[in-house]
Amino acid sequence: MRFRNTLFLLLLLVGIGAYVYFFERGKDSEPKEGKVFPFSEDQIEGFRLFNEEEMIEIQRVDPSGWQITKPIETEADPSAVNGLASTLSLLRADRVLEENPPDLSPYGLEDPPLRAQILLKGEKEQELWVGEKSPIGYKVYAKRADEPRLLLVSENLQNTLEKSLFDWRDKRIFHFEISEVERISWFKRGSSEPIVLKKEKDRWYLGDPIVHLADPEEAEKVVSSIRNLRASEFVEGGERRDVELDVWSVLVQLQGRPDPMQLYLGGSVGEDKIQARLLGKDTLYVVSSKVVEDLEQTPFDLAEKSVLPFKRWDVEKISIRDGDSQIDLMKKEGKWLDLANPQKELDEARIDDFLSKLSDMEVAQYLKNIPSSEESGLENPIFEVRVAEEGQEEKILDVGAPSPENSVFANNNLEPKVFLIQKEEVDSLREASQPLFPNLAKEIKDADSIPLHEANGDSGDQGSLGAQENTQQ
């Protein structure tokens, strides 16, 4: 019994092989040269795509832009439509099976399930029919509407033409580049103030007017999160779901455009999904709720944490002043020199250690209420560091008096506000600078005896923007 089954399967396989060899290969043993259509991609003005469920019409609106005009009017996905235009303009037949087949029904071409009408410049049209799949070889039967030849083409074409209206629609909510954004703000219902990110001279700042520097990576992350929103579903007109809308409001201001774009984000419509809508448009979008995670960050989360943002491998000059002692260093031909004593050989490892500690220092708190320069000790800072990177302006860190919270008042020439640094970080930085001074007037004898100014007055009620505080800027 098993032998009969095996023999039957073997004969079936031989039969299929014979069919392919004598029928599909035997008609034309060599692939035909040349394309299926004579036009080029830039001659295409639009498409009418017919499948078993709908007809989709797409029109070109500019060299790289497309608009869906039927069954609804909306923007088309430029990547998807450009891909279709490229596919059809470059389409080649793998084989011509018959020059004039008497019957198209065996190939699914009597009433083809897929048709593509290509609208060309000069009001010309070409049409392609796509039928059933070939038994083997990942191919499908196809033919031009104006020619009798039966063709065999890649089944990738079938996959493309089977796409639904949703597949051809542009899923983007916004159409801008990150470099175009000059201001973005967002507000959650019930909040007292919006959070604002503003770009000036290629730097991101928090607040408008500016409060302090923003972390460039965190700022770009928020902007990217908004820009890269994609619809996973479209809800048209009166089909709005019964959810709470407009929980979040996001304003995006682009360079050279007078009016901002306004996005509203609503409640959940499923696992990890929320609704969104643009002001002035009827369509609602279903998008990933991950964007809310970025919007729920506090101003401190978005703030620049480095006390002096710089790239240490680009530093060319360093000036350190500790009390009455000062040293000025300059890098020349890859080696550090003491400008007061250029012949002196410096310990490069110690300089690198100092720069490493400086670049790793972070803000502990941004202060909302700025203390007086006398109170903060920043009128005459006891410790100052200046670094200059190649081709950039000098950056300055001033360290003043201690605060009551085991921290130290500080500021830099990039920040309009005073901030706090942990005292132990300042101790460590000053300690790392000591070996660089030739004749330091005083030394730090232990980490608890840092010779900073005494704080004047009680600053214990000083308002702050810290890691534990969600204060809107």
Length of the chain: 473
Domain for residue 75, yes or no? yes
Distance from C-alpha of 60 to C-alpha of 58, rounded to nearest angstrom? 7
Report which secondary-structure segment, H or E, holds 84.
Answer: helix 78-90
Are 79 and 208 members of one domain? no
Of 149, 146, 147, 116, the C-alpha closest to 130 is 116
- Give 188's Cβ-side CA count (13 Å radius): 13
- Give mean pLDDT in consecutive 10-residue pieces for the chain, a chain of 473 residues: 49 49 42 75 96 95 92 95 96 93 94 96 93 90 95 94 96 93 92 90 85 90 95 76 75 89 88 90 90 91 92 94 92 92 90 95 87 89 95 94 90 86 94 80 41 40 41 35
CATH number at residue 33: 2.60.40
For helices 423-433 and 348-360, angle between their N-to-C axes, nearest 10 degrees: 160
Burial degree of 87 (CB within 10 A; 0-12, 13-18, 19+): middle
| 307 domain residue, yes or no | no
Structure tokens belonging to residue 163: 């796409």
Identify whether residues 26 and 99 lie together within a single domain: yes
Largest CA distance in the chain: 105
Give the domain range for residue 64: 21-168
Strand partners, 403: 407
Query: Could you give the CA distance from residue 299 to residue 282 in angstroms, rounded to a whole number?
Result: 33
- What pLDDT score was predicted for residue 456? 37
The reported pLDDT for the residue numbered 238 is: 52
d(CA 64, CA 297): 37
Answer yes or no: do 340 and 284 share one domain. Answer: no
How far out from the chain centre does Cα 324 lie?
48
Last residue of a domain, one of 302, 320, 337: 302
Residue 60 lies in a domain: yes
Q: Does 16 map to a domain?
A: no
Question: Does 183 share its domain with 233?
Answer: yes
Phi, psi of 290, rounded to the nearest 5 degrees: -60, -30
- Amino acid code (one letter) for 445: K
- Regarding whether 351 and 238 lie in a shared domain, the answer is no
The secondary element (H helix, E strand) that includes residue 223 is helix 216-227
User: Of 253, 271, 302, which one is at a domain's C-terminal end?
Assistant: 302
Rounded distance, CA 218 to CA 198, Å? 13
| 235 CB-near residues (< 8 Å, 6+ apart) | 241, 275, 283, 284, 285, 286
> Is 143 inside any structural domain?
yes
The residue whose two tokens read 């799949």 is 133
Asked if residue 26 and residue 144 are part of one domain, the reply reads yes
Closest by Cα among 320, 321, 340, 318 to 329: 318
Query: How far is it, in rounded angstroms, from Cα 331 to Cα 315?
Result: 8
Q: What tokens appear for 237 in the block?
A: 């007109």
Q: Are residues 137 and 197 in the same domain?
A: no
Cis status, amide bond into 102, omega within 30 of 0: no
How many C-beta atoms lie closer than 10 Å to residue 139's C-beta?
22
Q: Is 450 among the domain residues? A: yes
Q: What angle do CA 188, 191, 193 make, to 5 degrees?
A: 100
Distance CA 33, CA 94 (A): 9
Strands (E), 63-149: 65-70, 74-75, 95-98, 114-120, 124-133, 139-144
> Is residue 287 located within the same domain as residue 334?
no
Report whether 45 contacts 119 (CB < 8 A): yes
Whether 288 and 412 share a structural domain: no
Question: What is the spatial distance between Cα 266 and Cα 273, in angstroms, rounded to a whole number?
Answer: 10
CB of 74 closer than 8 Å to CB of 132:
no
With beta carbons less than 8 A apart as the criterion, state whether 321 and 384 touch: yes
Predicted structure pTM score: 0.73
Contact 132, 140 (CB under 8 A): yes
Does residue 4 fall inside a structural domain?
A: no
Q: Give yes or no: residues 288 and 358 share one domain.
A: no
* Contact between 6 and 13 (Cβ < 8 Å): no
Query: Is residue 451 a part of any domain in this protein?
Result: yes
Last residue of a domain, one of 302, 322, 354: 302
Same domain, 153 and 183: no
Give the DSSP letter of residue 179: G
Instruction: Annotate 8-58 with DSSP letters as a single string.
Output: HHHHHHHHHHHHIIIIIITT-SSPPPSBSS---GGGEEEEEEE-SS-EEEE
Structural domains in the chain (count):
3
The reply to whether 199 and 159 lie within a common domain is no
State the residue for tokens 């008497």. Answer: 102
